[in-house]
Amino acid sequence: MSMVEVEILVTLSAAAITLALFSYLWRENLAFRIAEHAYIGSAVGYGALITAEGAKRVLMPKLEKGEYIWLLTVLVGLLYLGFFARKWFFLYRYPISIVMASGMGVYIARGVKTNLIGHALNTIMIKDWQTALLAVGVICGLFYFYSTAEHKGPMVYMSKVGRWFLMAAFGAQMGLHVMARTSLVIGRIRFLLFEYPAYYLIPVAFILVAAGIVWDYMKKK
Amino acid sequence: MMLSESLVGLEVKSGYVFSTSFFVLSLIIIGVTIYLTIKGAIRPKIRRLAAIDAIDEAVGRCAEMGKPLHYCPGISGMSHRDTIPGLAIAGYVARKCAEMGVRAIFTFRNAGVQPVLFDLVKDAYIAAGKPEDFNPDDIIWLSPRQFAFATGLVGLLSREKPGASLLLGGFAAESLICTEAGFRVGAIQIAGCTNAYQIPYFVTTCDYVLISEELQTASVYITQEPEKLGTIQGIDIARLIIIVLMGVGGILYTLGIKNIANLLAM
Amino acid sequence: MSVVARRYIPWMFVVVVFTIVAIDTIAVDETIHRWASDLISASTVIGAFAVLLSIVMLSRLHIRRILRRRTVLESSILLICMWITLIWGGVRFFIFGISPTIEPVVQNLFYAITAPGDATMFSILAFFIASAAYRAFRLRNTDAGILIAVAIIAMLAKAPIGEAIFGKGIIAISDFCLNVGAKAGRRVFMMAMVLAVIALDVRILLGYERGWMGRGAEEG
Amino acid sequence: MKGGGWVVEQRKDEKEKSIWYKIQSIDVKWIYLIQMIVISYPLLRPIGLPLGTISEETMGIYNYLNNLPEGSIVLHCVNMGPTAAAECLPGLIAIVRHNVELGHRLIFYTNTATGVPYIEEAARAALGTELRDHPDYGTKYVNIGYIPQGTTGFSGFAADIFFTTTDAYGNDLKTTFFKDLPTKTAADFDFGITYGSGNFAWIITYLRDPWGVPCGGGIAAGLAADAYAYYPEKTPGFLVGLRGGAEYELLIKKPGLAAAGMDAQSLAHLSIIIMVIIGNIGYFAARARGRGGE
């Protein structure tokens, strides 16, 4: 197959997958199921290869330098498979403990510095009434999460004000995300409408959906 | 600086001095509260969260309707802060399901979660006295890729039509896909994560939500073990310290006294 | 022996690795830095092996489904797509040393199936946001009112049409909402999250949180 | 709310069959359909709504690039995958067009394997030919291609421009492009721009702070909050999502993909707002009626 033919096939397949996944908006159907399983399968394959490549990229330079102690990581990694043995199932805890602890350790100091103390510092630097209001919001919001006492007396009001600020954050997040997500739909629709030969599949999809709706209607009757 | 430097004999990076001291201080506070709680000197009382009661309700609803229950401990790996509370609640939910004879379907994205989840669920069935009901095929790895996982979840939910869908753990952009799929099959939905970008979607589409820290609180609440309750009490005291620091610091800052700001910036 | 191997050694690993990596971020020390970066590299390699486990489990699940004559078509499609990518890409990578990111067959499969799948599922969120907004944005109480007001203002300020209808005022209002209300809320989430993480780490380090050890609970 | 926790009331049994209840519990499929039509229509037939005021951040990056002399080196970090491309690709194309107009020299680089095709696409759109076939390739434009391992890989490249030894097409890097660079490190660059849905902070941490290169971005709207933390102290400006791209296209007077998309954006936002209003009218009407009946 020539390059052009391969490219056309890739585009056609991409358009088919796109339309089939969009068809979930109508309802769960056979085309969606097929696309879903093909997508999951190839994503698992690709993801596993990328993971393997990442691991090899870390491992190989060390082995080339003659640091054979790094083969130990392979052994520890293989302990995951101990899970299949009834007697040695607990071996999976060794690799998990290392992975988990290094992730936790990397996060904790940076998290406390930037996300806790850093934000506290930025909050108390009050310049005008807006930043003062912001500080009130942060303090009340933190009160909302105070969980070892029933909220009574002044705490009720503080946590209520805190809730308002949390609600404002939710609203803003949803409002801002509309734009980002709509851009993605625009990208997909543009692909379907203007990319050769993707647009040939649109009428096919319409016919299939129409047939499906008629089929549903007949069955109901 | 004195404290942390003299304690371990290491040079602390600039900018980390106060945060390290605060971390050490909160460790000490938590240590003390755990000790006092185990001794029985204090009894931390966690305020009730509606979502926790709703978990039992959801299992009951599934049992009544004869439908399965879906649980997802998030898409994150073992080192993520939300996964571990998510797994702790998974064990609780699995046990409840086993007791009430509800089929529980578990999904996850990160491969590293698999053995832990498998083990927890199996253990829950054994503890409930129904090891024969445990079905390993109901613990499903959907995909390592975020949106492939979401697609698989959508397909799974629309085919199995669970009576309840519990999403407690680390979630990212796919959160709304999961909850919308749950809504379309009419499942009661309880969700929770600490990702500030995704909580809005949970709040608008789910029936009960554990916001941010409440996820951790819930994972402790269901066990009612004193030492775990002690950590919650301790962290609430640390929270009060931060609140007081911010309140006093903010007032002083407006008056032109920047001592606390300088302290925090250390 | 068994309790030690099952519970205490993994727990000890957690404590040691956590301490080394955490100290590395706050302190300047050559040795600790080398250990910590080695540990992080090692955890990348170790973590990769979990995929093996899951591939076995996923294949087993779908082979069983085929054998039981349930979802034969879907399961075989999944297995074919997965194993073609894995075998072809794996042979080319491990034997010929060609990275999957430049291997033409793997790349074509990626652009034919996975990439459009990613983009489509991500974009479906736009429809879901619309329907979530329609269903949930009801003026029931003050909380909901604030949520709806801020969301609508943010939407109007972002799309050109808001300015066309309401003029520049809408941008100023939206800036106020985002800089005060939304920022405060986001900060609270960040700070509360870190506090929760501290408590969680303490529970794990002291061995109270046994969720990550699966069956740990009954072994005492 | 007593007892804490967060309950979202939305599952109410709707027994009544009045029109207002029906409006409230409309089948979500219709909402999807409305959104689909509202987004597709302007793509086929642009309406040409005005874009409004151009935001400060966009002006900032535009002015900065405009004032760079001819021959300045601009690094484009195209770190986007298929999910972010819909938002960020138009901005990339617009900025590259502007660079080409001003006679800047360009380096393309990506830290994700999925970014490679978008480099080609942007170059094709801005230069009119395939990047490698362009007569000025090697003298004015260079494509480093994909360097793995994220920021670690980038740090290697920043410390030594010949880190990868060859460009994306296998040509030796010691071409005319790099010959006259004084230090052969990232310090020789005049501007760096990162694209995509990754965080914005990385380019500040790995390019601006260590090498003193001013940096901008063309970032996904969902993550813009991260970038505002550095504005205006550490970055002259950046493009936020599709709107940023549309504004840039307007500034260089070459309306393209993003400008056409903004009509669709406007209508999509408007339709959501209208639907929320209709839903609330239904809610209040139903409630008023419910009270009347009691």
| Cβ B103 vs Cβ B97: under 8 Å | yes
Residue of D nearest to C158 (CA): D243
Mean pLDDT, range D187-211, rounded to an integer? 86
Who has greater pLDDT, D19 or B123?
A: B123
- The CATH class, in words, for D56-255 is alpha beta
What distance lies between CA B227 and its chain's CA centroid? 17
Decide: helix, strand or coil at residue A74. Answer: helix
Nearest CA in chain A to B148: A40
Predicted confidence at residue D17, as pLDDT, reads 63
Confidence of residue D294 (pLDDT cuts 50, 70, 90): very low
3-state secondary structure of D109: strand
pLDDT at B157: 94
Average pLDDT over residues D204-213: 86
Compute φ and ψ for A163, nearest 5 degrees.
-60, -40
Interface ipTM above 0.90: no
How much is the pLDDT for D16? 55
What does the block give as tokens for D186?
């990232």
Please give the share of chain C, as a percent, with pLDDT higher than 70. 96
CA of C166 vs chain A CAs: smallest distance (Å):
17
Per-residue confidence (pLDDT) for residue D291, from 0 to 100: 57
Rounded distance, CA C193 to CA C195, Å? Answer: 5
Tokens of D26: 């409309």
> Given the DSSP bridges, would you call strands D191-196 and D73-78 parallel, antiparallel or unpaired?
parallel
Structure confidence at residue C37 as a pLDDT band (50, 70, 90): confident
Q: Which residue has the higher pLDDT, D54 or C67?
A: C67
- Mean pLDDT by runs of 10 across the 221 residues of chain A is 87 95 91 94 91 85 88 92 83 89 87 88 89 93 86 85 91 86 90 89 91 89 82
Return the closest-CA partner of residue B199 out of B221, B220, B214: B214
Q: What is the mean pLDDT of chain B?
A: 89
- For C41-51, the pLDDT digits (tens) are 888 889 889 88
What's the pTM? 0.89
Q: Do A137 and C113 touch (CB under 8 A)?
A: no
Contact A44 B143 (CB under 8 A): yes
Confidence of residue D269 (pLDDT cuts 50, 70, 90): very high
C60-104 pLDDT, tens digit each? 999 999 999 888 999 999 999 999 999 999 999 989 888 887 788
Residue B190 has pLDDT above 70, yes or no: yes
| pLDDT digit string, tens, across residues B9-62 | 677 777 788 988 999 999 999 999 999 999 988 888 888 888 888 999 999 999
All residues of chain B having their beta carbon less than 8 Å from the beta carbon of residue D222 are: 173, 197
CB neighbourhood size of A6 (10 A): 14
Q: Is there a contact between C161 and D270 if contact means CB atoms under 8 Å apart?
A: yes
Per-residue pLDDT tens digits for D68-77:
999 899 999 9
Query: Of D258, D215, D259, D289, whose CA–CA distance to D61 is shortest?
Result: D215
Chain C from 4 to 33: CB within 8 A of any A CB: 5-6, 9-11, 13-22, 24-26
Using one digit for the tens of pLDDT, what is the confidence trace for A59-115?
888 888 888 999 999 999 999 988 888 788 888 889 999 989 988 888 888 889 888
Report the share of chain B in percent with pLDDT over 90: 56
Q: What integer pLDDT is reported at residue A72 of this predicted model? A: 92
Domain positions in chain C: 1-48, 53-124, 137-209
Interatomic CA distance for residues B186 and C132, integer angstroms: 14
pLDDT of residue C146: 92
Q: What is the average pLDDT across D260-267?
A: 89
**Average pLDDT over chain C, rounded to an integer:** 87
pLDDT, residue A66, reads 87
Residue C216 has pLDDT above 70, yes or no: no
Residue extent(s) of CATH 3.40.50 domains in chain B: 50-221
pLDDT tens-digit readout, D108-131: 998 887 888 889 889 888 888 888
Dihedral pair phi/psi, residue D172, rounded to 5°: -65, 135
Residue A207 C-alpha, separation from nearest chain B C-alpha, in angstroms: 23
Write the pLDDT tens digit of every residue in D141-170.
988 888 876 777 888 888 888 877 778 887
Show residues of chain B in contact with D84, CB under 8 Å: none
Residue type at D284? F
pLDDT at D10 over 70: no
Residues in D touching B52 (Cβ below 8 Å): 5
Tokens 């009218």 correspond to what residue?
A: D281
Residues B204, A170: C-beta atoms closer than 8 Å: yes
Please tell me the distance in Å from D1's CA to the nearest CA on chain C.
Answer: 11
| Nearest chain A alpha carbon to D35 | A182
Q: Does the CA dihedral D79-D85-D90-D93 come out positive or negative? A: positive
Angle between helices A154-194 and C115-136 (to 10 degrees): 130
- Band of pLDDT at residue D288, cut at 50, 70 and 90: confident
- Residue C115 near residue C121, CB atoms below 8 Å: no
Measured CA distances, A165 to A138, B118, C150, D71 (Å) = 8, 40, 11, 49
For residue C121, give the nearest of B153, D195, B192 by alpha carbon. Answer: B153
Closest by Cβ to D52, choosing from C130, C139, C163: C163
Cβ-based contacts of C25 with chain A (< 8 Å): 105-106, 108-110
CA separation for the pair B145, A47 (Å, rounded)? 7
Note whether C124 contacts B228, CB cutoff 8 Å. no
D111 closest CA partner among C119, A54, A39: A54
- The CATH fold assigned to B50-221 is Rossmann fold (3.40.50)
Q: Is the pLDDT of residue D8 over 80?
A: no
Amino acid occupying residue C48 = A
